[in-house]
Amino acid sequence: MNALIQDLIENREHEKIQKPNFDTRVGREFLAFYLKTKFRQIVNYDKKSQKRLFIGVKTDFLERFLDRLINQPKKKILISITGESASGKSTICSKIKEIVDKNNLPISILNTDNYFNDISDLIKQYGTFDALRDSGYDVDSPHNFQLDLLKEDIISLAEGKDILAPEYLVNGTGISVPKAIKVKSEKIIIVEGMAATYKEVHDLFDIKIYIDLDNKTRRKRFLDRAKTRNQDHQNALKHWDYVCQAGQKYVVGAKEYCDIIANGECDLEYFVQMLEYINLVTNNFQEV
């Protein structure tokens, strides 16, 4: 286990804290103070890590979020995770899912890539997805997402309603299957993907996380991923050029208003241990 995480665990309270009554404002204020202390401790320890997780945290983020927990305790916690292509956001979300499944945590994950419009007729017209892209069609434009439906589904989840999200098939056909993926409304809802940055939905989130990574590393990841998908190298290079342009146009600006900038090159074992520790301290209460 990473020495920093081991140190955190060994230095946490050996006995569980008596659980306050979170139905009262005093109880929620105690929770906010406790979480503030633990979050700052985690960030300070993370600064000592060789490949730290937190690149930047907005100075007013913690106060804003904790104020929301105190004053709107019953509201679901909405978290967006975004970043450019091959930055690591999907990998990070897959690790979160592993922890969710392992510990049976009240967290659901919604992938905004499934909200691409159905462009199967256009692909048939041009012959292939690549030919459509090469024609100048902007696949990642906000106009190519079902943003009204995405907003409606996020609001439904926030209101405690389960949804059936669409599924966009990643087989080059451009087909979108409506109401294909069941997503439960849990206490914490993570929304992943570039569409989470678009103006139609980005103000819905309580916590906005941007996964940042240098272009050289992203390019290598992108091309390695293309190999596993048996994608022609020259075509992969073309698509890389396209996603770089789309990222600059639609995604990079999100860094300005995201609450947390996370390192896409963070060691995944360390990231998982950090999640385990966060789960540990947020459940460090015993009933009276």
CATH number, domain at 96? 3.40.50.300
Q: Would you say 93 and 192 are in contact if contact means Cβ atoms under 8 Å apart?
A: yes
Confidence of residue 271 (pLDDT cuts 50, 70, 90): confident
Please check whether residue 72 lies inside any domain of the structure: yes
Please check whether residue 4 lies inside any domain of the structure: no
Please check whether residue 9 lies inside any domain of the structure: no
Helix 61-71 with 25-46: angle, nearest 10 deg:
150
Please check whether residue 154 lies inside any domain of the structure: yes
pLDDT, tens digit, 9 for 90 and up, residues 221-230: 999 988 887 7
Does residue 13 surpass a pLDDT of 70? no
Confidence of residue 279 (pLDDT cuts 50, 70, 90): confident
Residue 143 CB neighbour total at 10 angstroms: 8
Please check whether residue 2 lies inside any domain of the structure: no
Please check whether residue 129 lies inside any domain of the structure: yes
pLDDT, tens digit, 9 for 90 and up, residues 117-166: 999 999 999 999 989 999 999 999 999 999 999 999 999 999 999 999 99
Q: Would you say 271 and 95 are in contact if contact means Cβ atoms under 8 Å apart?
A: yes
Kindly report whether the global pTM for this prediction surpasses the value 0.85.
Answer: yes
Task: Report the alpha-carbon distance of residue 198 to residue 151 in Å, rounded.
Answer: 10
Tokens of 86: 């091959």
Indicate if the alpha-carbon torsion angle 76, 115, 104, 7 is positive or negative: negative
Task: Report the alpha-carbon distance of residue 113 to residue 169 in Å, rounded.
Answer: 10
pLDDT confidence of residue 83? 95
Query: Coil, strand, or helix at residue 162?
Result: coil
Please check whether residue 125 lies inside any domain of the structure: yes
Q: Which residues does residue 165 pair with via DSSP β-bridges, in sequence order?
A: 181
Domain with 191, as residue range(s), is 21-282
Residue 11 CB neighbour total at 10 angstroms: 10
**What total of structural domains would you count in the chain?**
1
Please check whether residue 6 lies inside any domain of the structure: no
Confidence of residue 8 (pLDDT cuts 50, 70, 90): low
